[in-house]
Amino acid sequence: MTDRRTLPQPPARGNPTVLVIGGGAAGNAVTVLLRRAGIQVDLIETKPDWNATTGSGITLQGNALRVLRELGVWERVSTSGFPFGTLGITAPDGTVLHVAEDIRTGGDDLPATLGMQRPQLQQILIDVVRPSGATVRLGTTAETLEQDADGVSVRFSDGTQARYDLVIAADGLNSATRAAIGITEKPEPTGMAIWRIATPRPEGVERTDLAYGGPAYIAGYTPTSEHTLYAFVVERCRDRASIDPAAHADEMRRVAQGYGGFWPQITKHIADPRKVNYTWCDRLLVEGSWHRGRVVLIGDAAHCCPPTIAQGAAMSLEDALVLAELLTSGRDWDDELLQSYYDRRIHRVRTVVEASVRIGQWQLDGVRDADVPGLIGRTMSVLKEKP
Summarize pLDDT for 75-104 with one digit per residue, the tens: 999 999 999 999 999 999 999 999 999 999
Please report, for the domain that includes residue 97, its CATH number: 3.30.9.30
pLDDT digits (tens, 9 = 90+) for 136-153: 999 999 999 999 989 999
Residue 361's domain comprises 17-54+121-187+284-383
Supply the Cα-derived Rg of the chain in whole angstroms.
Answer: 21
Whether residue 233 is found in the same domain as residue 244: yes
Calculate mean pLDDT across residues 318-347: 97
Calculate mean pLDDT across residues 346-372: 94
* CA pair distance 35, 52, nearest whole angstrom: 21
Whether residue 239 is found in the same domain as residue 179: no
Determine contact, residues 224/121, Cβ cutoff 8 Å: no
pLDDT digits (tens, 9 = 90+) for 207-232: 999 999 999 999 999 999 999 999 99
Inside any domain, residue 200: yes
Determine contact, residues 260/281, Cβ cutoff 8 Å: no
Confidence of residue 10 (pLDDT cuts 50, 70, 90): very low
203, exposed or middle or buried, with CB in 10 Å at 0-12, 13-18, 19+? Answer: exposed
Whether residue 255 is found in the same domain as residue 276: yes
Whether residue 157 is found in the same domain as residue 66: no
Inside any domain, residue 303: yes
Whether residue 142 is found in the same domain as residue 155: yes
Q: What was the pLDDT predicted at 241?
A: 75
Whether residue 71 is found in the same domain as residue 128: no
**What letter does residue 81 receive in the DSSP assignment?**
S
Confidence of residue 14 (pLDDT cuts 50, 70, 90): low
Please report, for the domain that includes residue 24, its CATH number: 3.50.50.60
Give the helix/strand (H/E) hosting 363: helix 335-365
Q: What was the pLDDT predicted at 13?
A: 44
Whether residue 125 is found in the same domain as residue 100: no
Q: Partners of 168 in the beta sheet?
A: 20, 296
Determine contact, residues 351/379, Cβ cutoff 8 Å: yes
For residue 209, the one-letter residue type is D
Q: What was the pLDDT predicted at 368?
A: 85
Supply the pTM of this predicted model.
0.94
Confidence of residue 4 (pLDDT cuts 50, 70, 90): very low
* CA pair distance 383, 387, nearest whole angstrom: 8
Q: 123 phi and psi, to 5 degrees?
A: -65, -40
Mean pLDDT of all residues belonging to the chain:
94
Which of 307, 310, 264, 261 lies closest to 97 in space, CA to CA?
A: 261
Which of 66, 62, 63, 53 lies closest to 84 in space, CA to CA?
A: 62
Q: What was the pLDDT predicted at 36?
A: 97
Inside any domain, residue 277: yes
Q: Among residues 260, 282, 304, which one ends one of the domains?
A: 282
Number of domains in the chain: 2
Which of 233, 252, 241, 240 lies closest to 194 in space, CA to CA?
A: 233
Determine contact, residues 65/74, Cβ cutoff 8 Å: yes
Residue 321 has pLDDT above 70, yes or no: yes
Q: Using CA atoms of 120, 240, 200, 316 in order, give the dihedral in degrees to the nearest 10.
A: -30
Determine contact, residues 284/173, Cβ cutoff 8 Å: yes
* CA pair distance 82, 144, nearest whole angstrom: 42
pLDDT digits (tens, 9 = 90+) for 34-48: 999 999 999 999 999
Residue 5 has pLDDT above 70, yes or no: no
Instruction: Give every CB contact of residue 12 below 8 A, 6+ residues apart in sequence.
Output: none
